[in-house]
Amino acid sequence: MNILSYDFMQRAFAAGIITALLASVMGVFIVLRRMSLVGDSLSHAALAGVAGGMLFGIYPFYGALIFSGVAAVLIEFIRSAFKKYSEVALAVVMSGGMGLAVVLISLGKSFNADLMSYLFGSLVAVSYQDIMIISILGFFIIVSVVLLYRELFSITFDEEFAVVSGIPVKRINFYFTLLTALVVAISVRIVGALLISALMVIPAAVGLQLAKSFKSTFVIAISVALFSVITGLYISFVFDLAPGGTIVLIASAILMIVICLKGVFNRWMQKNF
Amino acid sequence: MYKAGENMIQESSSSLVKEQRQVVSLTDVTFSYNGTPVLQDVSLSVEKGDFVAILGPNGSAKSTLLKVMLGLLAPQAGEVRILGQKARQFTAWDKIGYVSQQAANINTSFPATVQEVVASGYYTGFGRIFDRGKRKAAVKNALEAVKISGLSHRLIGQLSGGQRQKVFLARALVRKPEALFLDEPTTGIDTATQEEFYKLIYNLHKDHMTVVMVTHDLTRALKMATKVVYMMDGKATLYKDKGNFFENFTSKILEQGGQG
């Protein structure tokens, strides 16, 4: 049985591969900047966007894009008021987003299968329109990150030094949060709002365990994300499981195995060398 | 203008020649943290070729002064100029090198190699696609200058504190700046490596690099520096002759009878 003979599976794989690439690349920067919760905050806002879209008859994916974009602006705005406690901004936007989502859902009485697909991801739900949006935005995001690679490295490693190098740190930080919002909105389709953050953080965490340089961190994170998404989609198709959960479980398993093997390896090295 | 005081040297009104010689100049600068002033009406200037040591007791805002000089902190009052330009509009960052107190509090699990860290100092804006070759050469030279070429592929977290601080020095030097700003560069480093580090700085200064260094090491400062800024209670006093500072400093300590 060739699962790629189904049109909807072709679309799911295309969307999944782009999502894996974007989420893992952004994830490395996000984890190193100790902003692992950003994905969570933005995804709750994206969920409110989905609910709002359903309520007002706008395509929910657009609702997610708009709301997570607005949430990104809000995070930066609140953060500037609480410079020393940047996690306050994340907590406020996360609970605010969830609150708004719940209210909008109850207003629209829209707790249905369609909403469930945005919560936990879906294989059958990816439309041609979704693929078009995901591809165009995905290309734009990857080009942005490649062009800003040096700036992002410098800011992530040592923000003060980045300022003295002449990097427009504030503007790039803001742009980066907007890019993250786009990635979150894109990921809602395939892994679901509740699990996006995991797809950003877990591959990056594996990268940090094994990396021999900054660049190799990306290679590892991308590989882990691609492997998890491809096998996860396959397994969820065969066993009729929610794709988001399956993907995240595979990625988590890889992280656990890597941590254990690394511990064993280090002990073996200490004993023998 | 400086506040009244015997040891403060009067600055003549700035002629154009003088301005061109100035690396950094502060005029009546006041800086406060949450309403508490830590720098009050500070005026001083660093000229090309100077080696200025910023001294003072713990908590006397030495690092704050350095950050204000670099435009990292914006003062509430007064004017800061870097190489003649207002700090806020300053753009010639390639002429400025900065080594912060990083080595002591760096995230040791950051997955970056020495080479990647030093290369991050070679920032040339958005037209950099064509600079690849130049950047590589500059990184190589900077690593050789601080004698750590052998470490270039090691992860930053695997180095000792002293080696790491040399990496940060290389990162500051990679664009061949005219002036180097150092904030307690040898905190938490063993004495032998400190010696080596200071020798590097001393040689750079001999090759006409302007150096501004925050330090608590009085003997070292008096040995290497040409001028001293002494910080105390929000005031910064510039001694253009370090001998002058030394006399004043010892007599002050004698007067206070060891209270300070």
Distance from CA of B8 to the nearest CA of A (A): 30
CA–CA separation, B83 and B130 (whole Å)? 28
Q: Which residue of B has its CA nearest to A155?
A: B120
Distance from CA of B209 to the nearest CA of A (A): 18
Residue-range domains of chain B with CATH? 16-256 (3.40.50.300)
Residue B17 pLDDT: 60
Contact yes or no for A213 and B113 at CB 8 A? yes
Residue B241 pLDDT: 78
List of chain A residues whose C-beta atoms are within 8 Å of the C-beta of residue B72: 160, 163-164
Looking at CATH, the fold of the domain delimited by A3-193 is given as ABC transporter involved in vitamin B12 uptake, BtuC (1.10.3470)
List of chain A residues whose C-beta atoms are within 8 Å of the C-beta of residue B120: 150, 153-154, 157-158, 161, 165
DSSP B2: P
Residue B248 pLDDT: 77
- Out of B93, B100, B112, the one facing A165 most closely (by C-beta) is B93
Phi, psi values for residue B214, rounded to 5°: -80, 130
Q: Could you tell me the pLDDT band of residue B50, with boundaries at 50, 70 and 90?
A: very high
Residue A44 pLDDT: 92
- What average pLDDT does this structure show over B236-260? 71
Residue B133 pLDDT: 84
Q: Is B27 on the interface with A (CB under 8 A)?
A: no
Instruction: Write down the mean pLDDT value for chain B.
Output: 84
Residue B37 pLDDT: 86
B168, pLDDT greater than 90: yes
List of chain B residues whose C-beta atoms are within 8 Å of the C-beta of residue A165: 93, 120-121, 123
Q: Which residue of B has its CA nearest to A214?
A: B112
3-state secondary structure at position B80: strand
CA–CA separation, B84 and A162 (whole Å)? 22
B15, pLDDT greater than 60: no
CA–CA separation, A13 and A231 (whole Å)? 10
Per-domain residue ranges of chain A: 3-193
pLDDT digit string, tens, across residues B187-199: 878 888 888 889 9
pLDDT digit string, tens, across residues B54-67: 998 888 889 999 99
Distances, alpha carbon A131 to alpha carbons A127, A134, B114, in Å: 6, 5, 41
Residue A192 pLDDT: 86
B118, pLDDT greater than 60: yes
Q: Is B121 on the interface with A (CB under 8 A)?
A: yes
CA–CA separation, A192 and A47 (whole Å)? 9
List of chain B residues whose C-beta atoms are within 8 Å of the C-beta of residue A211: 111, 155
Q: What is the pLDDT along chain A (273 residues), one digit of tens a residue?
A: 577 888 888 999 999 999 999 999 999 999 998 888 888 899 999 999 999 998 888 888 899 999 999 999 998 888 888 777 778 888 899 999 999 999 998 887 766 777 888 888 887 788 888 899 999 999 999 999 999 999 999 999 998 899 999 999 989 999 999 999 999 998 888 788 878 888 999 999 999 999 999 999 999 999 999 999 999 999 999 998 888 889 999 999 999 999 999 989 888 888 877
3-state secondary structure at position B215: coil
List of chain B residues whose C-beta atoms are within 8 Å of the C-beta of residue A167: 123
CA–CA separation, B102 and B192 (whole Å)? 19
- What average pLDDT does this structure show over B42-53? 92
CA–CA separation, A151 and B237 (whole Å)? 37
Contact A76, A177 (CB under 8 A): yes
Distances, alpha carbon B23 to alpha carbons B27, B37, B164, in Å: 13, 25, 27
Residue A8 pLDDT: 87
Residues 6+ apart with CB under 8 A from A159: A169
List of chain A residues whose C-beta atoms are within 8 Å of the C-beta of residue B91: 166
Residues 6+ apart with CB under 8 A from B34: none
Angle at A101 between CA A96 and CA A107, to 5 degrees: 125
- Out of B120, B125, B126, the one facing A157 most closely (by C-beta) is B120
Q: Of the candidates A17, A11, A6, A71, which has an alpha carbon nearest to the alpha carbon of residue A187?
A: A17
Q: Could you tell me the pLDDT band of residue B258, with boundaries at 50, 70 and 90?
A: very low
Helix axes A7-32, A214-239, angle to 10 degrees: 150
B12, pLDDT greater than 60: no
Residue A88 pLDDT: 86
- What average pLDDT does this structure show over B201-206? 92
B251, pLDDT greater than 80: no
Q: Could you tell me the pLDDT band of residue B204, with boundaries at 50, 70 and 90?
A: very high
Q: Is B127 on the interface with A (CB under 8 A)?
A: no
CA–CA separation, B42 and B73 (whole Å)? 14
Q: Is B73 on the interface with A (CB under 8 A)?
A: no
Q: Could you tell me the pLDDT band of residue B150, with boundaries at 50, 70 and 90?
A: very high
List of chain B residues whose C-beta atoms are within 8 Å of the C-beta of residue A150: 120, 123, 128
Q: Could you tell me the pLDDT band of residue B104, with boundaries at 50, 70 and 90?
A: low
Contact A195, A245 (CB under 8 A): yes
Distance from CA of B144 to the nearest CA of A (A): 21
Q: Is A147 on the interface with B (CB under 8 A)?
A: yes
Neighbour-count burial for B218-241, b at 16+ CB within 10 Å, e otherwise: eebbbebbebbbbbeebbbbbbbe
B4, pLDDT greater than 50: no
CA–CA separation, B200 and B169 (whole Å)? 9
Percent of chain B at pLDDT above 90? 41
B2, pLDDT greater than 60: no
ipTM of the complex: 0.86
Contact A32, A25 (CB under 8 A): no
Q: Which residue of B has its CA nearest to A161?
A: B98
Contact B80, B65 (CB under 8 A): no
B217, pLDDT greater than 80: yes
Question: Exposed, middle or buried: residue B88 (CB in 10 Å: 0-12, 13-18, 19+)?
Answer: exposed
Contact A228, A251 (CB under 8 A): yes
CA–CA separation, A54 and A32 (whole Å)? 36
Residue B257 pLDDT: 54
